[in-house]
């Protein structure tokens, strides 16, 4: 684990964004800066952190943790489905195949939980028993393990919009994805989730739920974006889950819930200008991201040194020269 002091020092050099010259226009997601170059998509994972569907601030080492954790998982799952990763020339950078994304986010859930509008617990709690076209039995409690994982797809919302619930039938009838392809996506998503759960279990973690993005690459189904990171997934500590669940306590988690709580304490729930993150919150969040990386991979987190901008630009130029 990195020393607090090291993390603190990197705060003045946080990777907010990056400008590359000679690689065309920059595209920006909430977390990644993207350059399209030839057949490639260069994804630079920055230190931006989002919650409430917006960027709230910057977390030291977050970009490198996410990028390298995805790299770990892409390697561990490539026998299940092809993925976009070509190379990782720098801890913050992924050179990927540029594919055509399907407009659906494949959310897989092993537990009935969640706080957001699209979570199944919110719907279940308000009395719904058919959610995302799936029938749920009576008598489930919050955070209970589901008999088997379910797929609860959503739209992939445009910038600023919120994801909407979908069902398999809607995806087909609205022609968002062709039936045979969607069937493959379902199979791949469940197999990925099983593999992820398995590996997490051996590391003392529960993979609670996650989101996959798929794309078409010359007729081939391809997993893109990121996989099993703390941005796209929720993790609980396995050893205390049972006891806490039995007592009606919330599981010990590695998700962004503690971040949301910090904002809630400041009376911020996603509308208007967010308050500035404190240094303490930035450091604590950084430690959580690094911790989950180390737990899952079983490797010590080797930090790319701040400031990162020059090194990143150099590594990309070198890779394509
Ligand atoms: N191999 C790929 N081919 C095409 N698109 C991809 C690929 N990998 C990732 N993407 C897209 O690139 C973007 C990654 O940026 P980022 O993760 O920051 O976006 P986001 O905040 O999740 O979503 P948005 O772009 O809507 O803000 C996503 O829109 C993702 O769908
Ligand atoms: Mg994303």
Extents of the domains making up the chain: 4-320
CA distance 152 to 240: 27
Claim: this prediction has a pTM higher than 0.95 = yes
For residue 280, report the distance from its CA to the centre of ligand 1, in Å. Answer: 29
| Atom in ligand 1 nearest the alpha carbon of residue 48 | 18
Angle at the Cα of 303 from the Cα atoms of 300 and 307, rounded to 5 degrees: 175
Q: Which of 108, 120, 122, 105 is nearest to 163 (CA)?
A: 105
Q: Tell me the C-alpha distance between 198 and 178, whole Å.
A: 30
In short, whether 82's Cβ falls inside 6 Å of ligand 1 is no
What burial class does residue 203 get, using C-beta atoms within 10 Å of its C-beta: 0-12 exposed, 13-18 middle, 19+ buried?
middle
Ligand 1: residue whose CA is nearest its atom 31: 225
Residue nearest to atom 11 of ligand 1 (CA): 225
Ligand nearest to the CA of 28: 1
pLDDT for position 159: 72
Tens of pLDDT along 207-226? 999 999 999 999 999 999 99
Query: What distance in Å separates the CA atoms of residue 280 and residue 105, rounded to the nearest whole number?
Result: 33
pLDDT tens digits along 159-208: 767 889 999 999 999 999 999 999 999 999 999 999 999 999 999 999 99
What fold is seen in the domain 4-320? D-amino Acid Aminotransferase; Chain A, domain 1 (3.30.470)
DSSP 3: -
Per-residue pLDDT of 72-86, as tens digits, reads 999 999 999 999 999
CB of 49 closer than 6 angstroms to any ligand 1 atom: no
Pocket flag, ligand 1, residue 160 (CB < 6 Å) = no
Pocket test for ligand 1, best of 29, 45, 213 (most atoms within 8 A of CB): 29
């Amino acid at each position: 684990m990195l020393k607090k002091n090291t993390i603190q020092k990197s705060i003045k050099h946080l990777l907010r964004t990056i400008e590359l010259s000679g690689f065309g226009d920059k595209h920006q997601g909430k977390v990644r800066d993207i350059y399209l170059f030839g057949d490639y998509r260069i994804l630079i994972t920055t230190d931006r952190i989002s919650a409430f569907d917006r960027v709230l601030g910057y977390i030291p080492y977050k970009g490198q943790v996410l990028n390298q954790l995805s790299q770990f998982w892409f390697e561990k799952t490539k026998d299940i489905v092809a993925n976009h990763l070509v190379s990782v020339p720098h801890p913050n950078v992924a050179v990927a195949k540029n594919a055509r994304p399907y407009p659906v986010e494949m959310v897989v859930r092993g537990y009935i939980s969640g706080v957001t509008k699209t979570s199944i617990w919110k719907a279940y709690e308000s009395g719904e028993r058919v959610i995302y076209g799936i029938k749920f039995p009576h008598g489930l409690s919050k955070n209970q393990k589901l008999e088997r994982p379910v797929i609860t797809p959503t739209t992939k919302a445009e910038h600023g919009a919120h994801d909407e619930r979908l069902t398999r039938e809607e995806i087909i009838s609205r022609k968002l994805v062709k039936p045979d392809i969607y069937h493959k996506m379902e199979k791949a998503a469940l197999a990925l989730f099983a593999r992820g759960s398995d590996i997490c279990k051996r590391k003392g973690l529960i993979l609670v739920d996650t989101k996959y993005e798929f794309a078409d690459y010359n007729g081939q189904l391809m997993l893109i974006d990121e996989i099993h990171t703390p941005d796209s997934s929720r993790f609980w500590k396995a050893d205390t889950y049972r006891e806490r669940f039995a007592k009606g306590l919330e599981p010990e988690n590695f998700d962004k819930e503690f971040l949301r709580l910090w904002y809630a304490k400041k009376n911020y729930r996603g509308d208007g200008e967010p308050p500035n993150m404190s240094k303490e919150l930035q450091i604590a969040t950084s430690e959580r991201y690094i911790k989950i990386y180390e737990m899952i991979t079983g490797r010590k987190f080797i930090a790319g040194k701040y400031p990162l901008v020059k090194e990143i630009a150099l590594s990309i130029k070198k890779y394509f020269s």
